[in-house]
Amino acid sequence: MTSGATTPRTTSGSGLPAEAGFVVAALAVLVVAAAASLFVGVSAVSPRGLIEGDDHQWRVFWESRIPRLAAILLAGSAMSVAGLIMQSLVRNRFVAPSTAGTVEAASLGLLIATVWFGSTSVIGKMVIAVAFALLGTAFFLSLVQRLRFADIVLVPLAGIVFGGVIQAATTFFAFQWDLLQSLNAWTQGDFSGTLRGRYELLYVVGALMLVGYLYADRFTLVGMGREFAMNLGVRYERVLYGGLALAATITAVVVVVVGAIPFIGLIVPNLVTMALGDHLRRVLPATAIGGALFVLLCDILSRTIRYPYEVPVGTVVSVLGGVIFVVLILRSRVGAR
């Protein structure tokens, strides 16, 4: 694992730690953007209309805008937290749900569940997608542990290849079963279909994030290495596998409900830890808020860029995220030499 470029920490000797300032600032921007997002869309909803008690506007507000905002905040923060936990546990900054085969495995599970159960049972789909995500992540981990790559960039590369193989199989079956269109929806994260009654499962990932926060110190210690963690009484294997299972479960639930949001689990944790360090308990709230903010801004962009049409948020995230990812890789390579 490289330490990226040398990072000056801004923690001052006294007063509030740097992460507190970061959280407050990001939270302020998030609140403003969230409020604004409630009034962006094809159907006209305005604060004035709501005050005047316009029935139609209120219905759109409750049935679509609020659920959409909640889904964005939950999915964005949870995917970032999942990425943060994974990169710490695997001790590689480029490992995230989208570079470890986790997302692709979840999509394959979702496809198989759809064939078996039809499209009605959301719980059934979630359980199978989670199971596949766990299996995929476990396979990736054993791959990494067995091959012991000399270059850290090879680890996510192997994960991407592994994910590609799963994705190819998924596409093949989707073609056979005439489900290519559904598959497309799962692999391109999209909030335009988020309505009341169809996103509430995402509160599960909110709860999982809290679990992640409770175990954050143990994740940090496991990231310091097996012997280091064991010296401090941490049950290394249990925390390692448990943490990865947590990240895989978050990923699968997000894929089932809104579809995959690429790069988010990779970029947000990297940007946040670059600024604030790797003490997970301290950076996890900032990562969650940063992820929510990033996805929210991308979603607002996806709603306005071709107004009145929508670009899938996954596309916007990919374009922005891809650029940031390349910059991160270049920076880390320069820093490592």
Q: How far is the CB of 251 from other proteins (least distance, A)?
A: 23
Q: How far is the CB of 137 from other proteins (least distance, A)?
A: 21
Q: What is d(CA 278, CA 119) in angstroms, rounded to the nearest whole number?
A: 41
Residue whose CB is less far from other proteins, 13 or 53: 13
Query: Between residue 172 and residue 201, which ones bind other proteins under the rule CB under 8 A?
Result: none
Query: CA dist 289 to 176, 257, 296, Å?
Result: 41, 20, 10
Residue whose CB is less far from other proteins, 130 or 272: 272
The 197-236 site mask, x for binding other proteins (CB under 8 A), equals: -------------------xx--xx-xx-xxx-xxxxxx-
**Largest CA-CA distance found in the chain, in angstroms, rounded:** 65
Q: In DSSP terms, which residues pair with 309 in a beta bridge? A: 306
Query: Would you count residue 1 as binding other proteins (CB under 8 A)?
Result: yes
Query: Between residue 260 and residue 319, which ones bind other proteins under the rule CB under 8 A?
Result: 273, 277-279, 281
Cβ(37)–Cβ(299) below 8 Å: yes
Query: Would you count residue 2 as binding other proteins (CB under 8 A)?
Result: yes
Q: How far is the CB of 147 from other proteins (least distance, A)?
A: 19
Query: Would you count residue 333 as binding other proteins (CB under 8 A)?
Result: no
Q: How many residues bind other proteins (CB under 8 A)?
A: 32
Query: Would you count residue 7 as binding other proteins (CB under 8 A)?
Result: yes
The 9-28 site mask, x for binding other proteins (CB under 8 A), equals: x-xxx---------------
Query: Would you count residue 335 as binding other proteins (CB under 8 A)?
Result: no
Q: How far is the CB of 276 from other proteins (least distance, A)?
A: 9
The 133-172 site mask, x for binding other proteins (CB under 8 A), equals: ----------------------------------------
Q: How far is the CB of 238 from other proteins (least distance, A)?
A: 10
Binding site for other proteins (CB under 8 A): 1-4, 6-7, 9, 11-13, 88, 91, 216-217, 220-221, 223-224, 226-228, 230-235, 273, 277-279, 281
